[in-house]
Every structure is written in C-alpha cells, then in structure tokens.
C-alpha cells in the first residue's frame, strides 16, 4: 500500500507544488485547503476543506497519515498573529496521528551578519521578528521530537517557479513587459534561490527515508547560489531581450517602516539581499543521493513560463 501524506495548505504555491510532487512519486495525497478553496487543490488528490486553526478538525483529517507536510503560510503582515498557531496545528496533527512532520525552513533564522555558507550546523541568531518566529516554531518542533514525534526540516533560499507570490514575480519581473527587471540587491553579490519544483521533488525522497533519520532532522537544500548579474542575465536570455536592470528602492521602504506594516517587515529582512550567502547540501545528498537541480537558465525560463512571460 502506498504511503499517505497530508498537505496542510495545499492551495498555496508551495503546498500545491509539493502535493503534486508527492502524488507523482506514488503517494496517496490528502490536500487540506481552507473552506471554499477546493477548486485550487491539486488534481487527483483527496481534497479536505478545513480551517487550519481548528486543531481537532485538522487532526481528524490527518488521522492515518504517514507524513504531514506543514505548508501553511500566513500573509506577510500577519505572521506575528498566525505563524505559531498554525505551527501548533501542524505539530498536533502529526503527534496525534503518529506521522512524521515535514516543514520547509527558510533563512530568516540567520540574522545579520549573515553567514556566507549555511548548513545544518550554522548557529541561528535571528535579527528580525520573522526570524525570531521561525526559530520559535522550530524550537516547538524540537520539543515535539523530544516527546516522541518525528520531525524533518528542509531549509531553502528564496522560492521561485511554480506560479505567483514570490520576489521573482512581485519584484524582479513585475515590469518585464516594459523591458525592465528590478533586482533587490547588489548585482555582484551571491544570493541563494530555490527553484520550487526542485525543492518539492526533494520532499518525497526525504520522506521515504524518514525512519532512518533521527527524530529531529534538519537538512539544507542547495538551490541556485547566483549573483544578481547571473540571475538577471538568465531572465534576459529566457526572454531573448536586452533588459534594463534597476535596483529596488530600499530607501523608500526603510522610510515608510514606522507607518506601513509591510514596509516594516520588508525592512527587517533587507540584509538577505545585501549580504552574500549560499547553502551547502552535503548532508542532504548523503541522505537521498543526487539532489534535484534544474540548470539555472532552464529553471528561470520555466518560471517565466509559469507566469506566462517569455
């Protein structure tokens, strides 16, 4: 019998792509989406409409699962209110059903100054509220592991590909139709990107070896560590055009920080664009073998196709 995964937040970009990856790998997939969002769930999966903060309902839906994937992601300005409660819901569901909980980590945990090379042993010293929340979430997961749960955290850089809702479409390619791209940082600094289909394909492979891992297992996913110039050049090549490259107006975001909540949140994580960093993935490769990695030029071209650009 195939293993069963319950994807919390399967209507979102990450959850949707991950649910498809598990489905294509032969897993039985239950897609949990908020009421009224069934049409946005991946095809050929069991669709369950439930309020993610209804812990009992989520736990009931996850009963009998082998893996629970926490793909719930509150809006950017709503993290402080909802991030921890959503994490508690995912932890409770996994513990109640005896399932392994899988969680996508990010780089907010590492504050400024940002370590130039990041792996599973890199110390976490968050310098933003979002970073503090992410560390708190992972601490709660570590506590669950001490109680007997199994936890897998797969940490990656900025997502792109798989649709809308990332820096790639909201900033970089927002004005591509006018022959312009906007890059958030210096063009000569390395930034860590994660092509979402590659990251999603990694999840079922990690889940398949879950019983060989320690109760609390962290992995880092090496995606595309590229300079801004390399990344914007890949966009230009994919569109077969010469694009004007502008810099993001951080000064305005910083100035509006005291009065605009979204600007405050963005201002706190600006360092991620101004300090070079990359992810090392030796531990992940040792666990699953070759790590899915689409070449940068191909990945960028496909990400643009997802946006109907190119």
d(CA 80, CA 155): 20
Q: Which of 76-80, 148-152, 204-208, 242-246 has the lowest mean pLDDT?
A: 76-80
Average pLDDT over every residue of 227-236:
98
d(CA 103, CA 17): 14
pLDDT at 15 over 90: yes
What confidence category does residue 264 fall into, taking pLDDT thresholds of 50, 70 and 90?
Answer: confident
pLDDT digit string, tens, across residues 40-98: 999 999 999 999 999 899 999 999 999 999 999 877 666 667 889 999 999 999 999 89
d(CA 252, CA 260): 11
> What pLDDT does residue 309 have?
66
Q: What is the 3-state secondary structure (H, E, C) of 134-146?
A: HHHHHHHHHHHHH
Average pLDDT over every residue of 198-219:
98
d(CA 117, CA 122): 8
**Whole-number percent of the chain with pLDDT over 70:** 97
d(CA 262, CA 253): 9
**Rounded to two decimals, what is the model's pTM?**
0.95
Strand partners, 105: 155
Contact 197, 17 (CB under 8 A): yes
> What pLDDT does residue 187 have?
97
pLDDT at 14 over 90: yes
Find out whether the peptide bond into 48 is cis, omega within 30 degrees of 0: no
Q: Of 93, 50, 39, nearest to 69 (Cα)?
A: 93
């Amino acid at each position: 019998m195939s293993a069963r995964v319950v994807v919390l937040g399967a209507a979102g970009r990450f959850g949707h792509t991950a649910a498809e990856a598990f489905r294509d790998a032969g897993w039985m997939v239950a897609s949990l989406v908020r009421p009224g969002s069934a049409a946005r769930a991946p095809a050929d999966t069991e669709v369950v409409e439930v309020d993610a903060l209804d812990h009992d309902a989520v736990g009931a839906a996850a009963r009998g699962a082998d893996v629970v994937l926490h793909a719930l992601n509150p809006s950017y300005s709503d993290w402080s209110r909802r991030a921890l409660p959503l994490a508690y819901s995912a932890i409770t569901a996994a513990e109640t059903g005896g399932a392994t909980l899988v969680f996508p980590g990010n780089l907010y945990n590492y504050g400024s100054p940002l370590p130039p090379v990041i792996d599973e042993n890199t110390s976490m010293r968050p310098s933003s509220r979002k970073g503090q929340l992410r560390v708190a979430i992972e601490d709660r997961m570590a506590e669950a592991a001490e109680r007997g749960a199994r936890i897998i955290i797969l940490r990656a850089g900025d997502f792109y590909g798989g649709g809308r809702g990332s820096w790639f479409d909201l900033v970089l390619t927002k004005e591509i139709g006018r022959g312009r791209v906007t890059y958030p940082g210096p063009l000569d600094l390395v930034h860590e990107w994660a092509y979402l289909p590659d990251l999603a394909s990694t999840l079922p492979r990690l889940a398949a070896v879950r019983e060989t891992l320690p109760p609390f297992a962290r992995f880092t996913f090496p995606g595309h560590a590229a300079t801004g110039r390399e990344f914007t050049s890949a966009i230009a090549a994919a569109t077969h055009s010469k694009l004007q490259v502008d810099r993001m107006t951080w000064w305005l975001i910083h100035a509006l920080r005291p009065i605009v909540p979204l600007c405050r949140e963005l201002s706190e994580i600006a360092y991620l664009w101004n300090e070079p960093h990359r992810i090392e993935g030796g531990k992940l490769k040792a666990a699953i073998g070759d790590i899915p990695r689409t070449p940068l030029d191909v990945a960028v071209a496909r990400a643009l196709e997802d946006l109907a650009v190119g």
